[in-house]
Amino acid sequence: FEEGLKKGKDEALKGKLVLEHSLGLGHKPNVIPPDEARIDEEPRTVEIGWHPVGGLGGKWFAEKTGLGKMITEKINKYPDPTQHWAVLVDGYCHELWMDEHLDVIYINEKVNGEEWHTFEVGKTRFNDEALRQAGEMVIHNMRQKRPGYNLISNNCQNFAVLMLDAIQIGAHKEFATSFAIYQTATGAGHIKDLFVDKHPDEQQDQAHPELHRQDTVQHAQQVMEENTTKIDNHHSLFH
């Protein structure tokens, strides 16, 4: 009996590992080139994008993140967890992902344009290293409140909104304050001249009003709402 029980556990673990591998859960190597982090560069276009998490991995992902439970509890509308969103800037994507315990983590990857459905939502003055550090900060703050992935309140869309809020044009002062708190708490990250008053966004350049604070977050939320498949209690991914 004990031998059969052990074999069953081994098979279950093997199956879980296969599915984890198909999803690619866990930390991934940082692909952002080493550089000094700066938040006063010339503005660059920010996009949000999604790609599907499909196959058996997508089904397991949905089950583990509570989709099946929510269907049985008849919650009306919620995002399809197999539709994965991220923030994209100049060839790199910044994402919420999960470790092997299904706790949220930050990862970045080079963008394969054929995989992503993208939407332009604003501009940023952050260089790539500053974007990486901003992403790490956002995930740290999310983990402080709730480390585990949650379909409604701790997902890739929440991460995208929070990161866009941090990096958008015109949010320099707010970012400086929140990043200083993060840096004090963790000892991680350093961004040059964080509180310097000569930051471009602090100069009231009336000739370029479009470079002052934009509704990047509001625009992104609208885009994600319009382009995210909603699952209700009448449509199950598993049928």
Q: What pLDDT shows up at residue 12? A: 54
Average pLDDT, the chain: 80
Q: Is the pLDDT of residue 237 over 70?
A: no
Residue-level pLDDT at 76: 53
Query: Mean pLDDT throughout 94-99?
Result: 93
- pTM greater than 0.85: no
Task: Pick the closest to residue 224 from 15, 50, 35 (CA basis).
Answer: 50
Q: Report the pLDDT averaged over residues 105-121.
A: 92
* Separation CA 154–CA 66 (nearest Å): 12
If one counts every other C-beta atom within 10 angstroms of the C-beta of residue 144, the result is 10
pLDDT of amino acid 238: 34
Q: What is the pLDDT of residues 122-151, one digit of tens each?
A: 999 999 999 999 999 999 999 999 998 887
Sequential DSSP letters for 152-187: TTBSHHHHHHHHHHHHBTT-HHHHHHHHHHHHHHH-
Most confident stretch, 26-40, 43-57, 222-236 = 26-40
pLDDT at 173 over 70: yes
**Secondary structure class of 48 (helix, strand, coil):** strand
Percent of all residues in the chain with a pLDDT value above 90, rounded to a whole number: 42
Task: Find out whether 94 and 132 touch, Cβ atoms under 8 Å.
Answer: yes
**59 falls in which pLDDT band (50, 70, 90)?**
low
Cβ atoms of residues 139 and 145 within 8 Å:
no
Pick the residue with more confidence: 203 or 116?
116
pLDDT for residue 199: 80
Q: Looking at per-residue confidence, does 51 or 57 come out higher?
A: 51
Summarize pLDDT for 219-235 with one digit per residue, the tens: 888 888 888 777 654 44
> How much helix, strand and coil, in percent to the nearest 5, is found in the chain?
40, 20, 40
- State yes or no: pLDDT of 115 exceeds 50: yes
CB of 128 closer than 8 Å to CB of 120: no
| Phi-psi sector, 63: left (phi>0), alpha (psi -120 to 50), beta | alpha
Higher local confidence (pLDDT), 30 or 203:
30
Q: What is the predicted pLDDT for the residue at 224?
A: 82
> What is the band of 236 on the pLDDT scale with cuts at 50, 70, 90?
very low
Q: Do the Cβ atoms of 47 and 11 come closer than 8 Å?
A: no
* pLDDT of res. 70: 55
Q: First and final CA of the chain: distance in angstroms?
A: 35
Strands (E), the chain: 44-52, 78-79, 83-89, 92-98, 104-110, 117-124, 230-231
